[in-house]
Amino acid sequence: MRKLWRSSTQWGAACTLKCMPTPLSARNVSHRFGNVIALENVSVEVAAGQATALVGESGSGKTTLLRCFNRLIEPEEGDILVGDKNVRTESAVLLRRGIGYVQQLGGLLPHWRVLRNVALVPVLQERSDAEDAAREALELVGLPAAQFGPRFPHELSGGQRQRVALARSIAARPGVILLDEPFGALDAISRSELQQSFDDLRRRLSVTTLLVTHDLAEAGRLAEQVVVMRKGRIEQRGSMRDLVHAPATDYVAHLIERARAGLEALVS
Amino acid sequence: MRKTPIVVAVSCALLLSAAGARAQGAGRPIVVASKPFGESYLLAEMFAQLLESRGFNVERRPGLGATEIAFAALRTGAIDVYPEYTGTGLVAILHDTLPDAVAADPRAVFAHVSQRFEDAYQTRWLPPLGFENTYAIAVTKTTARRFHLSTLSDLARESPHLTAGFTADFIGRSDGLVGLSRVYGLRPRAVRPLAPAVKYQALASGAVDVIDGYSTDGLLARYDLVTLVDDRHFFPPYEAAALVSQQLERDSPSAIATLTLLSGRLDVQTMRQLNRRVEVDGEDVKRVGSDELRALGLVGGKQPTPGARSSVQRSSFWSYLWDRRATIFSLTMRHLLLVAIALAAAVIVAVPLGLGLERARRVAEPAIGTLGVLQTIPSIALLAFMIPLLGVGVTPALIALWLYALYPIARGTYSGVRDADPDAVAAAEALGTTPRQRLLWVRLPLAAPVIMAGIRTAAVITVGAATLAAFIGAGGLGEPIVAGLALADTRMILSGALPAAVLALAVDGLLAVVEGLIAPAHRRQRLWERHDRLTSPGGASG
């Protein structure tokens, strides 16, 4: 197995850039941790190839909802559909291999070189072109494979590590990618650069995207649909324009006001 | 490749048990043992030489723990004969009290003890060797004069002003301090437990005022001490005799007859003189034993040349070690074998155990805590517990060492795997790895340094604990340590202790190399990176 990413197979003839985008759907989902309500009758639809952002404070249930889609959490009630399949009937392991995932602190395996990290899912799928897929994914996130592939994660900057995590999540060309505060731990410049790269990338791949963030501006920049959550319920769902012009609740209005104040503080 | 260590461990175990099996088979040697003090060594050596001179095949197991260990070994047939004392048999083994009239008569006590041993344990006392070795409560001449001490009653009167230094054995026994306090009202200001080898020095230096000795001790004379009279006849008679196992009596009457040749041949003066040669002059036990057997006309051969005796004394410590290099080497190899087998078995059990507990965290802390409690049992006590179950020799020693090694390894494995980079583990799970893949690809490699730290700790502990295995006859570097302690021979102690220390360092160093080889790749790489920076600047910047 180790041989796989040491051998120098010819680069990428069989790779197709686009994948089949998959719609996502959560229907009347409820979940509790002990006595604490994490999700209460939540429904969200993400159209194939579109991006949706879940926005809210810590404890709003946004991460819990995200983790329902790859069965890291089994909700007590309601249905989760990935494409036309109810995730409950799927093998969790196989389901996850078909869904990209990026978490806040990358979660790269520190003892594996970058190329091997990126090749993880294709290898799990026992694809013979795993190494080529990994190289291509690295190039897609702006890291030349020849230069970065042989390095260890600790030899990269924080932004580069997040790019590698992104490459790893798309190396197997999933139809869906889930991102949990992917840029939250980065400095402002890296974050902005990475947001731009990611936006380009997901449009190019037309991959269905579900993004968790506490940053309303990031949500507006990256997603067609924004879902504001609070205490396990949905406050409002719509485009950023809808939220700004017609906030459904005081809480949404307050969030928008705060984001606007932050921006104005910058220019004044 | 991966199976090599297991194969090695198993073949080592087979080797050891084969060696054990040979001892148990047909034409097996007569196992002659002793307790860990000078006189016992000497008498056992004389038994052994006497048997050898009559053509018997003999195996020596000197320095077995204490009375309980030696007697348990005899009863289970692990040994065939060792020197014992009637008073010890009466009080420490039978736990009998006799009417004063009987207790005062050595013949009557011997008759009683030998009858009761025959009935209760089917072991036989051969006729006494001819001398008594009772407890001798001793003080320095200065102390005796200052407090006007000549009897134990005098001592009891003054005891609140005096500090006692007694052997641990004596403190705990009902024919020791417990009984003395009851009969005489002895209440020393403080009681310090002392090893037999150091109590005379402690007395001479004034650290303690009164000690327990044996009436035949060579050291009583050397330090010019006053032995206090047992004016209330508290101590029973301690007649020395060979105590023989049932199987030797059954299988080899001629061996019994041979051993009986020594009965009645050793008197107190002779014994004191012989003990003095061993304990004070530092002469070799073998030599003193053979001299005496020749003097008694029990073995033939010419008298040794006088003068050879003192040359042993003058030789330096290093030449002493050099002379014994073959012995030390074979003891070291045996020690290493004990450690290797115990450690390998502990790794085989404790690593999977740690992994299992990581998946059952509710029971993990109690389970590992239980192993930790084992760690607090003193090694010598654990070894003593093993005897009724497993006899003496290699098996109980291996099991005790194995038990000690479990805790650090299980703890290291559990903690290492539990705490392995949680972000990496979570990401691996979210991307569709199976639990087994996460374990083998992520958690075990990342936990390797912590697991290895546990194994290294266990290895060093085991090298140290294995020296105590000598108390139950498992051999190894503890043998010269135990013998040296018994004979107050510092050089002999060091000839075991120094190689043991070197062995501990060597084993730890070897495992450090192993640790380097199995460290997670990025850590190994850092070493190279450092190397690169030295040779080609900027090699890893990025």
Four-way CATH pick for B325-521: 2.60.40.10, 2.40.40.20, 1.10.3720.10, 1.10.540.10: 1.10.3720.10
Average confidence (pLDDT) over B453-463: 93
Looking at the partner chain, which of B426, B445, B521 has a beta carbon nearest the beta carbon of A103? B426
The answer to whether the beta carbons of residues B371 and B353 sit under 8 Å apart is no
Q: Do B525 and A105 touch (CB under 8 A)?
A: no
pLDDT score of A205 = 87
Fold (topology level) of B28-131+238-299? D-Maltodextrin-Binding Protein; domain 2 (3.40.190)
Full strand arrangement of the beta sheet holding B30-33 = B58-61, B30-33, B81-85, B240-244, B124-125
Looking at the partner chain, which of A95, A97, A111 has a beta carbon nearest the beta carbon of B446? A111
Note whether A185 contacts B: Cβ–Cβ < 8 A.
Answer: no
DSSP B213: E
Chain B residues touching A148 at Cβ < 8 A: 542
pLDDT score of B58 = 93
The answer to whether the beta carbons of residues A223 and A232 sit under 8 Å apart is no
> At residue A110, what are phi and psi to the nearest 5 degrees?
-65, -25
Compute the residue count for chain B: 542
The answer to whether the beta carbons of residues B244 and B259 sit under 8 Å apart is yes
> At residue B49, what are phi and psi to the nearest 5 degrees?
-65, -35
Note whether A15 contacts B: Cβ–Cβ < 8 A.
Answer: no
Q: Do A124 and B431 touch (CB under 8 A)?
A: yes
Average confidence (pLDDT) over A212-238: 89
Of A174-178, A226-230, B166-170, the least confident: B166-170
* A-B contacts (CB, under 8 Å): 76
CB-based contacts of A89: which residues, under 8 Å, 6+ apart?
none
**Closest residue in chain A to residue B521, using alpha carbons only:** A111
Average confidence (pLDDT) over A52-71: 90
Helices (H) and strands (E) in chain B, counts: 28, 10
CA angle B68, B83, B17 (to 5 degrees): 65
CATH code for residues B135-227:
3.40.190.120
**Closest residue in chain A to residue B423, using alpha carbons only:** A107
Q: Do A121 and B428 touch (CB under 8 A)?
A: no
Fold (topology level) of A20-98+177-268? Rossmann fold (3.40.50)
Full strand arrangement of the beta sheet holding A36-46 = A36-46, A24-33, A77-82, A85-86
Tell me the two tokens of residue B448.
Answer: 């390797």
The model's pTM: 0.71
Nearest residue to A171 via CA among A115, A105, A222, A211: A115
How many whole angstroms from its chain centre is CA A33? 23
**Closest residue in chain A to residue B427, using alpha carbons only:** A107
Q: Do A124 and B542 touch (CB under 8 A)?
A: no
Looking at the partner chain, which of A112, A155, A165 has a beta carbon nearest the beta carbon of B542? A155
CA distance A120 to A127: 10
Note whether A233 contacts B: Cβ–Cβ < 8 A.
Answer: no
Give B352 to chain A, closest Cα distance, Å.
Answer: 22
Q: Please, what's the b/e burial string for B231-250 (b: 16 or more CB within 10 A of its CB; e: otherwise)?
A: eeebbbbbbbbbbbbbebbe
Residues B353-395 pLDDT 10s: 999 998 888 888 899 988 888 888 887 778 777 777 777 778 8
> What is the percentage of chain B residues whose pLDDT exceeds 90?
40
Q: Where are the domains of chain B?
A: 28-131+238-299, 135-227, 325-521
Residues B113-126 pLDDT 10s: 999 999 999 999 99
Q: Where are the domains of chain A?
A: 20-98+177-268, 107-173
Range A7-15 contact pairs with CB under 8 angstroms and sequence separation of 24 or more: A7/A131, A9/A129, A9/A131, A9/A132, A10/A132, A11/A132, A11/A135, A11/A136, A12/A129, A12/A132, A12/A133, A12/A135, A12/A136, A14/A129, A14/A132, A15/A129, A15/A132, A15/A133, A15/A136
Provide the 3-class DSSP secondary structure of residue A112.
Answer: coil
The answer to whether the beta carbons of residues A25 and A69 sit under 8 Å apart is no
